[in-house]
Structure 1
Amino acid sequence: MGIVSSQSFKNLITTYLGFGIGALNTLVLYVHFFKDEYYGLVGFLLSSATLAMPFIAVGAQNTLIKFYSIYSGRNQDVFLSFMLLLPLLVLIPSSILIGIFYDELVTFLASKNEIVRPYVFLIGIIAFAMAYFEIAYAYSKAQLRSVFGNIMNEVFHRLGVMILLLFFALKIITTQDFLYGVGVVYMLRMGIMMGYAFYLKKPRLRLAIPYEWVAILKYSVLIIIAGSVAVMILEIDMFMLGKLVPIENVAYYSVGIYIAAVIAVPARAMHQIMYPLTANYLNERRFLELKDLYKKSSLTLYIISGLLLLLIVCNIKSLYLILDPAYSKGLYVVLLISLAKLVDNILGNNNAILYNSDYYRLVLVLGVFLVVVAVALNLIFIPKLGINGAAIATFIASVGYAFAKIVVVFKKFKMHPFTRETLYTTFLLVLLGLAFYFWDFTINPLLAIALKSLIISFSYLSVVYVFKLSPEIYKWINDYILKRKSRFE
């Protein structure tokens, strides 16, 4: 866990920096300076682009990580060239097809909200930028260098959007300028990431077919669907809200989702380095080390994300007192999606195990089934319950998908992520949650959040430290808070 702990900690810092900027954007600038319908439009465009991205990338980002360590020398250059050009084989004919049926596509996307119509083309631009950013990011992760990419992934575009929002607030740019500017920010991010990746190891473009090309194409085609499944379970709710109800509801839902998404930050930070490390363990058949990584990553993420869940759930009523009253409609969205994110963190490096093994086909079948379920549930619940219906559908689909993946890894690798400490942590979360949720300070909401967060954090981390629930967190507290040497070293 040495390299994982080192780079994960750096990634965690940069990821939270990005989330801090994003929180300023989401909870302050958008809410106070953007009309609800335009905020909803931004969320709809970005969700649509995110849904399209896996199809444009053709799974190249996952394929690159899985097969990169197999090749060396000239064969590695051939493989990398193939990965860079593969998306174009799909993108070019798809662009021609979309150009022919563009009017029909625009009519479909703008059927409920006419405000979408002038900006549909931005979905394609942003999706393209996202796709090639992910490929360049995967190349840098294959070199076990994830920190700069994580800065670009978590900080750059949020900082760019913040600058655009400030320009908008100062009336330097119009709403249309802002929306076009978002597309420019994502294109810049892609260009900088590609430049960095090629700086790490300059590729030599060789137009040839790599050996193992049949396995590569088969994996890429299937991972398109598998990757799309993961994205669709997360993003289909906002897309369907934009299709089924007035678009300002996407704004209320976006705020709720963003608050809950804080819980996913530790996993996102750790996954940047765990994916290539897990791929190496699988390629070298080092299953004992893989099992150890599985349990440690699960427990560490569960403990960290559990604290974040407590802080969000126990402070959510005070937080909504600060925001525009209209956004309090997202209260139950926050609670349900927060629980779903917590369950997802229990998986540890489960996704990395499945996507880099021979059993990714099973994930594909499970994922397609659960996406169908998610779409059906959204169609049932959104017209009746609005954004709460979308949250219920997402919760059921996400939790079902998570437990299905745990079962697959257990059946195929005879390993699971749970330990006695997992159970102890669950008891701790329930106990502190019941103790602090119903206890509110009758003072300024910001002060109430700060004071309650301090008390919860101290209580939680004290128990985790005293009972040594996680060696990694025990060592981290010793190294960075108590400044003393840990006996786990």
Structure 2
Amino acid sequence: MGIIIKQSIKGAIWSYLGVGVGFVTTAYLYPNYLTPEIVGLFALLLAWSNLFASFSALGFHGVTARLFPRFRDKEKGHNGFLFIALMVMLTGFVLFLIAFLFLRPWLVESNLEKSALFAHYVDLLVPLTFLALVFAFLDGFTKMLYNAVLGALLTEFVQRVLILLLLLLYIFGWLTPNALILAYAGAIGLKGVFIFFYLLFRKELNFRPQLNFIDQGLKREMVTVAIFSVLTGISGTIVFQIDKIIINQVMGLSATGVYTIAFYFGTLVVIPSRTLLRISGTLIADAFKNNDLKTIEDIYHKSCLNQFIIAAFLFGGIWINIDNILEILGPDYAGGKWVIFFIGLAYVIDMATGANGNVISYSKYYRMTLWLWLSLVVVMIILMLLFIPAWGISGAAAAITLTFLLNNFMKFIYVKVKLGMQPFTLKFLTVVLVFALSWGASFLIPQLDLIPDILLRSAVFSMVYLFLTYFLKISEDIDGLVKRIIDRITIV
């Protein structure tokens, strides 16, 4: 088994274990033991620190991903690559500190009324930003050393376990709210410290300068890649963090907390996509190297169809249980109902068309990804500024859905025009029909007590959906998987 497959499987295992831990934390402990203000504070600290860290990186994550193979030589200290990275990171962090000195008064004053808790802890953004910057770079560096699992382990599992333990200490009265907030910041930043000492122990950190290794051609290429990467990196971070920042500025910390919890349920739809897109991306990249457009078109179609089947199934499972979910969360989170709906729908749209991003990124038109990211940022910010004052947190989620729809439509048209490919067939309409029939079948069940209702309603929806999907032969890949499972059961 190749190193890519091994590491993909290991990374997926840690991700799914982390999902289990995160579900307990986010779906049960947060709403039952923390106030929405504290939950909102956690989300806001993460949003701002990730945004600042993306700025501070100055695009060097892209340089690492694209150009480190030219430097790679452990015996020669990777030809001074880490010295250059250190200088860039320090420069970026100093620029952040200067910007923070000017931004801090605004961050405090604009939050005193609606988000006093954030205003009180705003200085935590300095260490959080530094440690986020360290982790982001060293995680990318570690991947280039053929270890893609460590970052997933630390982010998806270890960090979530630490937060769970801190919450339990708080619930048992061993931590005060102030101590919990500080400890939470420590748990978030710890992964940056851990990965540094891991690399130090492995003797992979060598900061000796070797500037004579870099000729003028390589220097120009590093600058070009960095400029391109800083724009795409900041754009990507804004897309995934700006919603919480705008909600806090318009509505306050409590609304941010409600939104954060509801948003989590919507994102459950997209979890399988991470592994599927990673695998399809590798195959698409290899096919482009061989100019095998037929294979690319086949992967494009199959990946979109399979993702749509999975996304519709997960979205349906969440939405048929929406009243049960809201009952678990409690009355403080009743306003998150339509956030769950719109975020789930946004990721259904994204998964049904998600491979188009890989097709563009690995083609000769990869620079188009920058303009797509920038358009996504502009449209999302405009829609949020329009929708949030009118419809609150539901408006933020609706803005994300509409933005995802427009952005993926643009990608779809671009791939169709430039490469003559489009993934949609009548099978996609069949999936919609299967979803509708399964959803309808689940609502034939009368309302029961919480746990029995979840189990029975989910079982009916799942059985109808899976039976129709297999019976109608919608996906060759799913049919093959079911046949292998049946064969193994028969053998046993």
If the length of structure 1 is used for normalisation, what is the TM-score? 0.87
Q: Report 1:223-302 matches (<5 A).
A: 223-272=229-278, 278-279=284-285, 282=288, 287-302=293-308
Q: Which amino acid aligns with 1:229?
A: S
Tell me the equivalent position of 1:382.
388
Change over 3 Å in CA distance of 1:300–1:193 after alignment to 2: farther
Deviates more, 1:453-462 or 1:19-28: 453-462
Tell me the equivalent position of 1:396.
402
How much has 1:199 moved relative to structure 2?
Answer: 7.7
**How many Å separate the matches in 1 of 2:79 and 2:458?**
52
Please say if residues 266 and 341 of structure 2, whose CA atoms lie closer than 8 Å, have aligned partners that are also in contact. yes
1:461 corresponds to which of 442, 460, 466: 466
How much has 1:101 moved relative to structure 2?
Answer: 5.3
Tell me the equivalent position of 1:46.
46
SS at match of 1:393: helix
Tell me the equivalent position of 1:30.
30
Change over 3 Å in CA distance of 1:112–1:430 after alignment to 2: same
Tell me the equivalent position of 1:64.
64
Larger Rg: 2
Q: Which amino acid aligns with 1:422?
A: F
Change over 3 Å in CA distance of 1:416–1:385 after alignment to 2: same
**2:479 corresponds to 1:474:** yes
How much has 1:336 moved relative to structure 2?
Answer: 0.9
**How many Å separate the matches in 1 of 2:38 and 2:228?**
36
Q: Which runs of 5+ in 1 are unaligned?
A: none
**2:344 corresponds to 1:338:** yes
**How many Å separate the matches in 2 of 1:48 and 1:333?**
21
Q: Report 1:55-94 matches (<5 A).
A: 55-68=55-68, 73=73, 77-78=78-79, 80-81=81-82, 82-83=84-85, 85-94=87-96
Q: Report 1:163-242 matches (<5 A).
A: 163-194=165-196, 202=204, 205=207, 207-208=210-211, 209=214, 211-242=217-248
Change over 3 Å in CA distance of 1:251–1:184 after alignment to 2: same
Please say if residues 77 and 206 of structure 2, whose CA atoms lie closer than 8 Å, have aligned partners that are also in contact. no
SS at match of 1:55: helix
Change over 3 Å in CA distance of 1:125–1:256 after alignment to 2: same
How much has 1:319 moved relative to structure 2?
Answer: 1.7
Deviates more, 1:366-375 or 1:136-145: 136-145
2:456 corresponds to which of 435, 440, 451: 451
How much has 1:338 moved relative to structure 2?
Answer: 0.5
Q: Report 1:298-313 matches (<5 A).
A: 298-313=304-319
Tell me the equivalent position of 1:131.
133
Q: Which amino acid aligns with 1:16?
A: Y
Change over 3 Å in CA distance of 1:179–1:327 after alignment to 2: same
SS at match of 1:58: coil
How much has 1:172 moved relative to structure 2?
Answer: 0.9
SS at match of 1:202: coil
Tell me the equivalent position of 2:438.
432
Tell me the equivalent position of 1:363.
369
Change over 3 Å in CA distance of 1:290–1:41 after alignment to 2: same
How much has 1:239 moved relative to structure 2?
Answer: 1.0
Please say if residues 4 and 270 of structure 1, whose CA atoms lie closer than 8 Å, have aligned partners that are also in contact. no
How much has 1:395 moved relative to structure 2?
Answer: 1.4
Change over 3 Å in CA distance of 1:269–1:144 after alignment to 2: farther
Change over 3 Å in CA distance of 1:2–1:291 after alignment to 2: farther
SS at match of 1:173: coil
Deviates more, 1:410-419 or 1:178-187: 410-419
**How many Å separate the matches in 1 of 2:147 and 2:293?**
24
How much has 1:55 moved relative to structure 2?
Answer: 1.5
Deviates more, 1:257-266 or 1:106-115: 106-115
**2:17 corresponds to 1:17:** yes
**How many Å separate the matches in 1 of 2:233 and 2:33?**
35
Q: Which runs of 5+ in 2 are unaligned?
A: none
1:99 corresponds to which of 101, 113, 117: 101
Deviates more, 1:278-287 or 1:407-416: 278-287
Change over 3 Å in CA distance of 1:72–1:46 after alignment to 2: closer
Q: Which amino acid aligns with 1:335?
A: F
Please say if residues 12 and 270 of structure 1, whose CA atoms lie closer than 8 Å, have aligned partners that are also in contact. no
Change over 3 Å in CA distance of 1:442–1:50 after alignment to 2: same
**2:164 corresponds to 1:162:** yes
If the length of structure 2 is used for normalisation, what is the TM-score? 0.86
How much has 1:342 moved relative to structure 2?
Answer: 0.9
Please say if residues 135 and 192 of structure 2, whose CA atoms lie closer than 8 Å, have aligned partners that are also in contact. yes
**How many Å separate the matches in 2 of 1:275 and 1:80?**
27
Please say if residues 37 and 248 of structure 1, whose CA atoms lie closer than 8 Å, have aligned partners that are also in contact. yes
Please say if residues 71 and 79 of structure 2, whose CA atoms lie closer than 8 Å, have aligned partners that are also in contact. no
**How many Å separate the matches in 2 of 1:229 and 1:441?**
46
**How many Å separate the matches in 2 of 1:479 and 1:3?**
25
Change over 3 Å in CA distance of 1:466–1:13 after alignment to 2: farther
SS at match of 1:418: coil
Change over 3 Å in CA distance of 1:299–1:101 after alignment to 2: closer
**How many Å separate the matches in 2 of 1:282 and 1:141?**
22
Change over 3 Å in CA distance of 1:326–1:83 after alignment to 2: same
**How many Å separate the matches in 2 of 1:324 and 1:446?**
15
